Chains A and B, each alone.
Chain A
């Protein structure tokens, strides 16, 4: 295939700005898929993704398009739209020469879009700006176009006006891709150098690897190697991705394809890794590879303690197709056996929880999420803290450090005040404030990651009436006075309710948590003291009064068996509760911390 006739491009867009619908139109217009075949928003083919209206994992699809009498091959590489997956986005971008920047003509540019745009520009991608949803009554193409021009320095006439819903501007987009996006370069004869930008798990065929070839040629049956993992395989099947997989004998530099080589475990396939031949390896790997690191940690426990093995099996299966999920066994006095899991972010954590429920029918208790803190010990070594129980005794360390991020927030000018206030409450320090237009402002903060992972985004949305957008990147560790806050029920610490919080916030946190628990812990035979404590110091207390009366009045002949069955049922129901000392704790209580507002 002539490399000059290939175009590799991705789409950069904010959630809800119409990426998926527009992608559908491109597929229809190029006859890659007929309207009848079209499942709404084809690229998002996981149930969960469709429901959440965002693309969680990226995919790729190849289209054929005749332009001025010549057939071109267009590879559209989809990108996930959430900050949890920013590394994957960077790898998708690295596989392309061009990007469609899709901006909702009524909403304007959002923070996430900007950071991905910068990523794309950093990779020298040709940017094709597209104003979408121009058919909407609220569209303001003039103002949004100004914003885009400011952002990428293009001319007004470079901007394509489109509507995925109405099919407006589709041909113009395709033409712009061919005219403006450079053809890939590379040497077909050079040693193989291809980059993995995504993988999918197929229970029957193993892991399917998506890759972009920068140099060389890969053929079916080749002996290949993944450079970073060092694992070697045979290319059982290679091919291109149309609406279905289309096997090929070989694929050459500049192209995008899939590889199947009997890989059983997703962990072996690392996004960003380089594929090369064993016999004639490339001299350099593709730049930018990183091992994905979990950002948020939480315990996951089965609701029924007896389901631990089943949960383990489910987690193992999940890990087969989600390499970014990491876990190790953990024991809690309150919850029994479970797992300490690392997630890319809160969304990822929610997805894992939902997938456990939907795909494996496992109901789980998730404990207070935490970021990775570290303690500078007295011997000047760092100790990693992934869970409250990892927190060393104060006498053994010099100080605690916590991860900070550089957060960028774009909001309408009228909400600048409340946004700044929220960020200050979250221990943020304002670093910069730029007016993108007279109406829209970009604010930059240094903030603790721990403050962002909880409910920050929801709060931000609320105070800005849904208009503020957020992006962040890791900045490194900073010293912080973090403390472990314990919750005690009748004097016994409930380990699963402990959390690492900033000293200045511990009092408020403890107070609210105690209040919430008071609502959730039912009255029992004894009075229950709910206390929040730092070390031995009690900082908050609530009391659940003892149950005053629990006795059925009538208990004669016919009532006896009925009563026995009722009590039996109650007793069984309580088995789902967790016992700490003499206190029974319902599952909801363990989730209470997630719902503090």
Chain B
């Protein structure tokens, strides 16, 4: 099955070589979503070769998402050889009981080993994922996770709050009252602790959930927030060409069968002007570069500053944002309320 999916991914890469308008130069490649490190080196190589053959490239970054338990010396050597220069490792926590609760296959020891190994194999650009919002009496576990992460100093840390989705075991437990989720205040405290610790260690919060040393910002992810077009290949992959979003069928079998018949099963969501503006707004406002009012004016002929003057003034007065060089930039206080602010600014 995996082989046929890989084969169809390559087929899709060829079919959609002109998806991005005007044959732009590809700057970044990102293997992510799910567990791409399940692919063996041959499969990965096949995909990369297809890209190399069919696209104009000026690569600045090639990333793969991995879990600590599937990184071996052999795998790391291979990835390095294939040209990957950035690893994103799903550490989540350095506490075994927390990892167990998150239903992760790895333990804390494997986490530490995987990072050390990656460095031995010459990976300089490392990113680790951390999760907060674990239900615990105090913030001590989270603080120790942060401290250890910053001691390891991977250069890039992404951090997400535990969210409870309805169709999961945790969701069901919550529904039945067996699991008491943490409060917003508890999570907000942890978020603020994280902001402080990161700052202290010289990490810049260049996006709500992403912290990095000045030279180590993720190029690929940053482009999502800047409204840059991207092509997503494979089951369930999302693409954006500047006007519409498209996502492929999630089911592997349907994906393969469709492409065998030379058909890409996908849904296209053509965006209204307002929707494009709103999407740019809600993503760009999360970053240190902020929301570029001139860009909205030039690209979409919309005067956000004038139309949302009342809201902007109010948020400014409350210390949630600043306006710098025609860009809306959230303050530290504003970042934690980014969604509320974006919603109020929606056109």
Q: Give chain A's interface residues, CB within 8 Å of chain B.
A: 524-526, 547-558, 560-561, 563-564, 567-568, 570-571, 582
Contacts and interface: CB of A to CB of B under 8 A. Distances in A.
B160 A567 contact: no
A553 B232 contact: no
Contacts of A582: 314
Contacts of B187: 549
A560 B224 contact: yes
Contact of A550 (B163, B185, B337, B346): B337
B247 A558 contact: yes
Contact of A551 (B240, B278, B314, B335): B335
Interface pairs A-B: 6 shortest CB-CB: A553-B160, A548-B188, A549-B188, A558-B238, A551-B338, A557-B238
Interface stretch (B1-9, B94-102, B279-287, B300-308): B279-287
Given A549-B191, A549-B336, A551-B338, A525 B320 contact: yes
B314 A561 contact: no
B86 to A, nearest CB: 15
A446 B159 CA distance: 68
Q: Main secondary structure on chain A at its contact with chain B?
A: loop
Contact of B282 (A526, A556, A564): A564
Contacts of A556: 221, 224
A548 B184 contact: yes
A410 B74 CA distance: 92
B160 A548 contact: no
Contacts of B279: 560-561, 564
B108 interface: no
B118 interface: no
Given A553-B161, A557-B240, A525 B340 contact: yes
Contacts of B336: 548-551
A561 B282 CA distance: 10
B33 to A, nearest CB: 8
A524 to B, nearest CB: 8
Q: Give the one of B240, B336, B337 with max A CB within 10 A.
A: B337
B142 to A, nearest CB: 14
Interface string B103-134: 00000000000000000000000000000000
A568 B341 CA distance: 12
Given A553-B163, A556-B221, 8 more contacts: A525-B341, A549-B188, A553-B159, A553-B208, A555-B208, A555-B282, A555-B286, A558-B237
Contact of A555 (B33, B225, B239): B225
Contacts of B240: 557, 560
Interface of B: 33, 159-161, 163, 184-185, 187-188, 191, 207-209, 221, 224-225, 230, 232, 236-240, 245, 247, 269, 275, 278-279, 282-283, 286, 314, 318, 320, 335-344, 346
Q: Give the one of A551, A553, A560 with max B CB within 10 A.
A: A551
Contacts of B344: 525
Nearest to B335: A551
Contacts of B184: 547-549
Nearest to B336: A549
Nearest to A569: B343
B283 A555 contact: yes
Nearest to B311: A582
A558 B221 CA distance: 12
Contacts of A558: 33, 232, 236-238, 247
Nearest to B223: A557
A549 B245 CA distance: 28
B278 A525 contact: no
A552 B230 contact: no
A551 B245 contact: no
Contacts of B191: 549
B337 A568 contact: no
A564 B318 CA distance: 24
Contact of B337 (A551, A561, A570): A551
Contacts of A560: 224, 240, 245, 279, 282-283
Contacts of B237: 558
